[in-house]
Each structure stands twice: as structure tokens, then as C-alpha cells.
Amino acid sequence: MVDADPQGSLTVYFGLDPDNVEKSLYSIFQESTPDPAALVYATRINDLHLLPASTALATLDRQLGARPGMGRVIARALEQLASHFEFVLIDCSPQLGILLVNALAACEHLVIPVQTEFLALKGLDRMLHTLAMVQRSQQKILPCTIVPTMFDRRTKAAVDCLANLREHQADWLWRAFIPVDTQFREASKAGLPITNFSPNARGAQAYGELLDALLGLDTGGSNPGAVSLTEGAA
């Protein structure tokens, strides 16, 4: 996992402090770039490793935004790590800047979580517009999966939002959804993936179905890498 969000929520989830972490993704943007493998932390989950965020990532656009060649820093680092890992998930903010450009240049499949609420639909429209701009500049078309999240079938707002997604984003929309589940909060508090914390929870089962789809069991394709945009993206 690569935490490319300056807020560092993924980093905090796995017990590191983005304000004080010594080795982080920020390090690879420095002129004396270290071996990326030295920046990767093992988590307490078997076979799950983290390249954490530092809050200093928020300064990259001011420091490096005008410097040429900064759009593939993450991609080059991941190329050096390719022999160590089978899959890489990049968690990034939706704001257009050096981190988003890097994440899109590095990834092979884009995953956009969208909360099933009205304001999230507006955020999705802005995100897709930004994505189109970046893809035109990079001359790269990414496969994309939109994932409805926090769906509560008891509320009309959520049902209407899901219907809207199915009507207007059918080409990219995952066929199912991630339901509201209190076990997500408990898993977050414990610092564990929900599939480890409560594997029989509705949310864990839904993410299992999503994983099958992304691996190509439902789509007939393959997905060796992905960028996951945070819930705030929509």
C-alpha cells in the first residue's frame, strides 16, 4: 500500500504518525532518492506492507510543481519494487496536483469510491472532469471502476443516488455496492482490515466481491495495480 494522501489516514490506520514518520513517500521526491525498499514498513498483517505518507507531502506542489520530470516519481519507485510485490494499492487525494498526476501515471486501474449521497455525485462529476484533463495531458486512458459506498437501503437518498449512478455512470460502475456497516468503525479502531477483524461482516463480504471483480473474475480482465481515491474524492 502506498499512502499518497498528505492527511495520512491510511498511515494512521496502520499505527504510524504522518507528522513524525522518519521514512515516507515524501522521501522519494527528494533529490537524494533512497532505495524505495528501505522506505517500506511491514504491517502486522501477513504479506501487507506500507509506504507511508508524511504531512510534508502537502508542500510538494509548492516545492516541485514547476520542476520538469516530477510526474513519474512514484512510477519509477514502484518499478524498483516490482519484484517484491504482486499488487500495489495507491491511496491518494482527488485534488489535482503533483501527487494525483504521479498516482495516475503509476497505476493500471483506477478505483473511485463514491458515497451514495447527493453531494458525492457532484464531487464525482468534478473528479471525472479532472481525470479527463490529466489523461489528455498524459495521453493515457485508464480503466476505471466507480464503487458506491456507505449504501443504506433504508434511506431514499441512498437509493436515489445509486439509481442515478446506474443511469449515468453505467459503463464504469461496479455492479454492486459497499453497505453501511458499523464493523468498519470497529476495524478502524483496531487498526485491522475488516476482512481480518470481522470476516463475516456484510462490509467484508462486499469488499470480497469487489476484489473478485477487480481481479477479473467477473470482468474477464486482470488488475495488477490500482489507485484508490479516498472517500473525500466524491
Residues 6+ apart with CB under 8 A from 156: none
Which amino acid, one-letter code, is at 148? P
Which CATH number do you get for residue 44? Answer: 3.40.50.300
State the residue range of the domain holding 184: 2-233
On the CB side of 161, how many CA atoms lie within 13 Å of its CA? 25
Number of Cβ within 10 Å of residue 65's Cβ equals: 11
Tell me the C-alpha distance between 74 and 51, whole Å: 11
Which contacts of 56-59 are long-range, i.e. CB under 8 A and separated by 24 or more positions?
A: 56/6, 56/24, 56/26, 57/4, 57/5, 57/6, 57/24, 57/25, 57/26, 57/99, 58/6
pLDDT of residue 226: 52
Q: pLDDT tens track of the chain, all 234 residues? A: 999 999 999 999 999 999 999 899 999 998 666 789 999 999 999 999 999 999 999 999 998 877 777 889 999 999 999 999 999 999 998 888 999 999 999 999 999 999 999 999 999 998 898 888 888 887 878 889 999 999 999 999 999 999 999 999 999 999 999 999 999 999 999 999 999 999 999 999 999 999 999 998 544 433 344 555 544 433
pLDDT, residue 138, reads 78
Residue labelled with grid coordinates 491510511: 10
* pLDDT for 229: 53
pLDDT at 219: 40
C-alpha–C-alpha distance, residues 137 and 155, integer Å: 40
Whole-number pLDDT of residue 216: 86
What's the pLDDT score for residue 224? 40
What's the pTM? 0.88
How many structural domains are present in the chain?
Answer: 1
User: Residue for cell digits 532505495?
Assistant: 35
Q: How far apart are CA 36 and CA 93, in angstroms?
A: 21
SS3 84: coil
List the Cα angle 75/212/180 in 5-degree steps: 95
For residue 204, how many C-alpha atoms fall within 13 Å in the half-sphere facing its CB?
A: 16
